[in-house]
Amino acid sequence: MPKNKTHSGARKRFRMTGSGKIMRRRANKNHLLEHKESKRKRRLSKEVEMARPDANKLKTLLR
């Protein structure tokens, strides 16, 4: 049976940590940044852990 390929769209958007958590970028950091306050932009820059139900689906795409 052939190997499954990693989903290329998921590979670009998410990363898996060593312990198996899936990290994602926050929304609202792509454009219209001029009027957003610096504190908010800094908070949006950090990666966060994916929600557990979504992470389970994504693990199949990232294998």
Q: Model's pTM, two decimal places?
A: 0.81
Q: Residues 34-58: pLDDT tens digits?
A: 999 999 999 999 999 999 999 999 9
Q: Is the pLDDT of residue 1 over 90?
A: no
pLDDT at 53: 95
Domains of the chain, residue spans: 8-62
| Beta-bridge partner residues of 23 | 15, 49
Of the pLDDT bands very low, low, confident and very high (cuts 50, 70, 90), residue 13 is: very high
pLDDT value at residue 18: 94
Between the CA of residue 10 and those of 1, 7, 14, 24, 44, what are the distances in Å? 23, 5, 6, 10, 20
Q: State which CATH number among 3.40.190.10, 2.40.50.140, 4.10.410.60, 3.40.50.970 fits the domain covering 8-62.
A: 4.10.410.60
Q: Is the C-alpha dihedral spanning 21, 28, 44, 32 positive or negative? A: positive
Is 13 within 8 Å of 24 (Cβ atoms)? yes
Q: Which residue has the tokens 């929600």?
A: 51
